Amino acid sequence: MSGSKLTMEFKHQATVTLAEVAEAAGVGESTVSRVLRNHGSFSGKTRERVMAAVERLGYVPNRIAGTLASTGSRLVAFVIPSLSNIVFPDVLRGASAVLEQNRYQAVFSVADYDPGKEEALAAAMLAWRPAAVMLAGYEHTEGTAKMLRASGCRVVELLDLDGDALDIAVGFSNRAAGRESAAFLLRRGYRRIGYVGHDLNRDTRAGKRFSSFCETLDANGTPLVAHEILGGPSSVENGRLGLERLLARATDLDAVYFSNDDMALGGYFHCLAQGIAIPSQLAIFGYNGLDIGRAIPQPLSTIRTPRVATGEIAAQLIVANAPPQAVDLGFELIEGATA
Amino acid sequence: MSGSKLTMEFKHQATVTLAEVAEAAGVGESTVSRVLRNHGSFSGKTRERVMAAVERLGYVPNRIAGTLASTGSRLVAFVIPSLSNIVFPDVLRGASAVLEQNRYQAVFSVADYDPGKEEALAAAMLAWRPAAVMLAGYEHTEGTAKMLRASGCRVVELLDLDGDALDIAVGFSNRAAGRESAAFLLRRGYRRIGYVGHDLNRDTRAGKRFSSFCETLDANGTPLVAHEILGGPSSVENGRLGLERLLARATDLDAVYFSNDDMALGGYFHCLAQGIAIPSQLAIFGYNGLDIGRAIPQPLSTIRTPRVATGEIAAQLIVANAPPQAVDLGFELIEGATA
DNA sequence: AACCAGAATGGCAGCGCTGCCAAAAAAGGC
DNA sequence: GCCTTTTTTGGCAGCGCTGCCATTCTGGTT
């Protein structure tokens, strides 16, 4: 870089204001504002003069000021549990595409599956007066719920439908997913079924799948034979390790349900490495329907969830200022070759 | 939900302002502001009175107004190429942890590997007057660079060091990665080497790795035998397909370099499915060092990149208002079992 | 030529907060 | 008890923009 003088100059924001543009264009401030937002009426000639001045001065509108002066902001706040689990980037991807198209701006923070942290982050988010706050699921602290209700801003709860929404909910039923997974395995004739999962206290949606999975097995008179729950987040390595441990305790399983595809892939690799034939010796079933599950030699049997669509729909509802509602996007059972 | 009256009430933001808190606490506005920001001096008694009023009214400060009134904002803007490629969520994860701790707020948009879109999104970001804009790599349009320079806000270019930084750069050399990958394969005795990659015009960092990989092979007198480049983004499925196509054309390869681990995993699965022995019949080498690469039966040979650390360091430099600099975080070659 | 609707424009008061300054209160110092 | 220093406090002018309202132009109409 260069000398300190230049650095100093550099630090002073070259803050061109709307007033300066107005002056340069020889028009009033409100005229510039109208032209820039293409709102209200103005002549073509004026428009050209303004745009020329904008161009010449390199004016960049200040949305902070604009938001303060007008009413609602065009920020949408996401408080997500994790960025490691691809589920949430997928949701963000869907949402951000729609938001960008509508000149909304996505803001996010990561609560790390911790309701207390979620509350703190939601509070910090509300300070930006977003148009909406988007959260994962229904399990929030009392404080979070109260704060969100009082804020008057829209709230969207994502990826879960088993509970009461604060405002809008977009997703699918995790209980139904657990149920259908169990029904599928039973239909296929599996009876000695085990489970490998990650920390369910934190990932409550995985917990819901697990409990309704078990209920379905119970109702069939063939309860879960064994389960192995690992602390920490879901990962391929934990899935591998979990299955290894499970099989050490329960030797005669014919199928294993995993908390999600990452975990299931770990199980699949364990079988590959140990020469356990899939599905004849052991069937494997996951959850999420990740692309990678279709690229392994035997496509993974799993449930595909509409993650990107969840983000898209959520964003669309906010952009359209839709009334409170719960949108069920469903899911798709993929038969695959592992169960 | 309930009747329209309630809905109406609900819509009116219960906007408690600082002035109202001041009135309720029986103190001046500036006193409330000082207490809330814990800045300047005030008595313990006053503090209690203010906090009680804040609690009672459920006051949430308005950061929009605060940012406008003070100078710099605490927003950090990310313009990333993709959210599908886990690389960028990883960077965001590292950065957001640091930012949250310092009361900064992350804002993002997805440019989809399109420089034109990047320019538009960067412009939209600048309108929020962020403390910093973070982008992937050095390949920006003329307009983007000019705009960023003129903005006076900090700029961080991530995940690349082969080029000239606008301000701060944090990452590692993709050219060095390509070089070392080639050197490793040569050291292991592979001579008939191929390449499978995804769209290099868009992912310029992958392009840099590829070109320095080829240069290294050339310098050794054993140039690349064949390559297969697929349009579209990297994915496991594209890796599988790419290797299938490559092997159809070049039957006597002894190693294949992939544009990243996703692609390499696809190649690995193709070999598994086709009964191609790894690495004796064909060696496979990736890039990124994803966790999943270590959980497959034969750990993937690859280069592990410090993605989370890239985000962390970038955020730390911004929080500390560090001077312009390039930070090389290096990478680690993982020998694995596939090459 | 007088009149009028409608288009085009400018002025200015805030949006809710922070930063500065001056005033008031508390705390010492002799 | 009087004066100085330090701490605590309130008032108020903006930050850059939008929204409202009043005003000035246009271009017909009668």
Q: If pLDDT is split at 50, 70 and 90, which confidence band does B14 have?
A: low
| Mean pLDDT calculated for residue range B300-311 | 98
CA distance A93 to B327: 29
Tell me what pLDDT residue B6 has: 33
Tell me what pLDDT residue B49 has: 96
Residues of chain A with pLDDT under 50: 1-13
Same fold, B4-61 and B174-304: no
CA angle B197, B198, B202 (to 5 degrees): 130
Using H for helix, E for strand and C for coil, what is the string for B314-331?
Answer: HHHHHHCCCCCEEEECCC
CA angle A230, A233, A236 (to 5 degrees): 80
Please report the sign of the dihedral spanned by the C-alpha atoms of residue B244, residue B245, residue B246, residue B252: positive
Q: Which nucleotide shows the minimum CA-to-C1' distance to residue A21? A: D16
Tell me what pLDDT residue A1 has: 34
CB B110 to CB A93 under 8 A? Answer: yes
Q: Measured in angstroms, what separates residue A35's CA from nucleotide C9's C1'?
A: 12
DSSP A34-87: HHHHT-S---HHHHHHHHHHHHHHT----HHHHHHHSSS--EEEEEES-SSSTH
Closest chain B residue by Cα to residue A93: B83
CB B13 to CB A151 under 8 A? Answer: yes
Q: Is A145 on the interface with B (CB under 8 A)?
A: no
Q: Measured in angstroms, what separates residue B44's CA from nucleotide C28's C1'?
A: 20
CATH number for the domain whose boundaries are A174-304: 3.40.50.2300
B61-71 pLDDT per residue, tens: 999 999 999 97
| Mean pLDDT calculated for residue range B124-147 | 96
User: How many CB pairs lie under 8 A apart between chains A and B?
Assistant: 176
Taking only residues 201 to 230 of chain B, the set having a beta carbon closer than 8 angstroms to any beta carbon of chain A reads none
Nearest CA-CA partner of B148 in B174, B168, B175: B168
Of the candidates A63, A237, A272, which has its C-beta nearest B127's C-beta? A63
The CATH number, out of the four listed (1.10.10.10, 1.10.260.40, 1.20.140.10, 3.40.50.920), of the domain defined by the range A4-61: 1.10.260.40
Cβ(B142)–Cβ(B88) under 8 Å? no
Q: Is the CB of A72 under 7 A from strand C?
A: no
**Strands across the sheet containing A226-229:** A226-229, A193-197, A255-258, A283-285
HSE, CB side, 13 Å, CA atoms: give it for residue A162.
15
Which positions in chain A touch B60 (Cβ < 8 Å)? Answer: 123, 126-127, 147, 151
Tell me what pLDDT residue A201 has: 83
Distance from CA of B14 to the nearest CA of A (A): 7
Of the candidates B90, B108, B124, which has its C-beta nearest A108's C-beta? B108
- pLDDT for residue B123 is more than 90: yes
Which amino acid, A270? H
| Mean pLDDT calculated for residue range B12-32 | 89
Average pLDDT, chain A: 93
Percentage of chain B exceeding pLDDT 70: 96
Nearest CA-CA partner of A98 in A66, A134, A126, A60: A134
Cβ(B240)–Cβ(B267) under 8 Å? yes
Q: Is cis: bond before A279, omega within 30 of 0?
A: yes
What 3-state class would DSSP assign to A331? Answer: coil
Q: B75-172+307-329 adopts what CATH topology?
A: Rossmann fold (3.40.50)
Tell me what pLDDT residue A11 has: 37
* Strand partners of residue B287: none
Percent of chain A that is helix, strand, coil (3-state, to 5): 45, 15, 35
Please report the sign of the dihedral spanned by the C-alpha atoms of residue A252, residue A254, residue A259, residue A260: positive
CB A64 to CB B68 under 8 A? Answer: yes
| Mean pLDDT calculated for residue range B297-326 | 97
Of the candidates A64, A93, A153, which has its C-beta nearest B128's C-beta? A64
| Mean pLDDT calculated for residue range B79-97 | 96
Sketch the domain layout of chain B as residue ranges. 4-61, 75-172+307-329, 174-304
Tell me what pLDDT residue A14 has: 61
Tell me what pLDDT residue A71 has: 78
Chain C nucleotides near the protein (CB, 7 A): 7-21
Estimate the crossing angle of helix B142-151 against helix B115-126, to 10 degrees: 20
Which positions in chain A touch B73 (Cβ < 8 Å)? Answer: 64
Average pLDDT, chain B: 93
Which positions in chain B touch A321 (Cβ < 8 Å)? Answer: none
> What's A75-172+307-330's CATH class?
alpha beta
- pLDDT for residue B296 is more than 90: yes
Percent of chain B that is helix, strand, coil (3-state, to 5): 45, 15, 35
- pLDDT for residue B13 is more than 70: no
